[in-house]
Amino acid sequence: MRPAPTPGTYLVRFGTAELLRDADRPNAWTISVDGVAQSHVDLDDPTDLEFDYIRRIADIVDCLGEGPLDALHVGGAACTLPRYIAAARPRSRQLVFDADGELVALVREQLGLKGLKVRVGDGREGVSGRYDASADLVIVDAFERGVLAGGLATVEFTNEVARVLRPAGTYVANVSDGPNLPFLRRFLATLATSFPHLAILAEPGVLRGRRFGNIVVAASRTELPVPDLTRRAASSAYPARCVAGQDLRDLQGKAKPITDADALPSPIPPKDVFGIF
């Protein structure tokens, strides 16, 4: 039997990680790095998802038909989504890339990674090393101190994701933005260079530019399940809006794609936006 995790602080590559026990659930844990929440996992029930944006990504996964998936994850932390997919879709084949080897070691020791394949290294390089048309799903959720890891929002990386995905595959990314959504607009233009079908999920206040927050973006070469996503988002414990079609194109406007030569970092979040509450 695995020993119980030990709450406390631990040095990792990108700062100081803190492992906290959930006060409401006996075997649920949150990991933060330098005060920025990274993951929440319930070791007794991996389908119990605490963070609202994680629930939105899971809604996309749930709408992709039935059966196991071949999934790539860029960014892992405590591997909340890989654990969810393993529970919800048995026999799925998953590979996680995470650049913070010390954090991976901490999660492996304290929370376990049984049945999950995690590689320490640069996620962009990891995706570039995969075979053509080898994945059903690519999920990017890789932040360093609240900022999207470098090189993951460009046309060049998007081309690699499109190459690795099967024709009906889905790309899902978690990004963050604030008033007027300047980064999101350019990110949508970037994805549109490879994927004709896009949708976003976010809290209404974020989409109206009233506050800084997470936006989940889905992209595919085939139609996305927008009606199902819209219903799920509206009825969620954390209500959200789903934007697609002409409304999304209007939001994107005349924004220019992001390239390696013109790299645009994601905005730095205001203090305590992504902290532990």
Confidence tier at 274 by pLDDT (50, 70, 90)? low
Q: Which residue type, as a one-letter code, is found at position 16?
A: T
Please state, in angstroms and as integers, the Cα–Cα distance from residue 191 to each residue in 13, 63, 161, 171, following that order. 30, 20, 10, 9
Pairing type for strands 147-148 and 241-244 reads unpaired
- In the block, tokens 């319930």 appear at 42
User: pLDDT value at position 266?
Assistant: 84
pLDDT score of 36 more than 50: yes
Rounded Cα distance, 271 and 200, in Å: 25
Mean pLDDT over 124-152 rounds to 92
Domain ranges for the chain: 44-252
Proportion of the chain above pLDDT 90, given as a percent: 84
pLDDT score of 273 more than 70: no
Full-model pTM: 0.96
Please state, in angstroms and as integers, the Cα–Cα distance from residue 49 to each residue in 1, 42, 161, 267, following that order. 24, 8, 26, 26
The string of pLDDT tens digits covering residues 212-258 is: 999 999 999 999 999 999 999 999 888 999 999 999 999 999 999 99
pLDDT score of 277 more than 50: no
Q: 44-252, what's its fold?
A: Rossmann fold (3.40.50)
Rounded Cα distance, 47 and 191, in Å: 29
Mean pLDDT over 75-102 rounds to 97
DSSP states along 228-254: HHHHHHHHSSS--EEEEHHHHHHHHTT
User: pLDDT value at position 218?
Assistant: 98
- In the block, tokens 């300047």 appear at 182
Give the SS3 label for residue 220. Answer: strand
pLDDT score of 276 more than 60: no
- Indicate the average pLDDT of the chain: 94
DSSP states along 62-81: HTS-SS--EEEEE--TTTHH
pLDDT score of 97 more than 60: yes
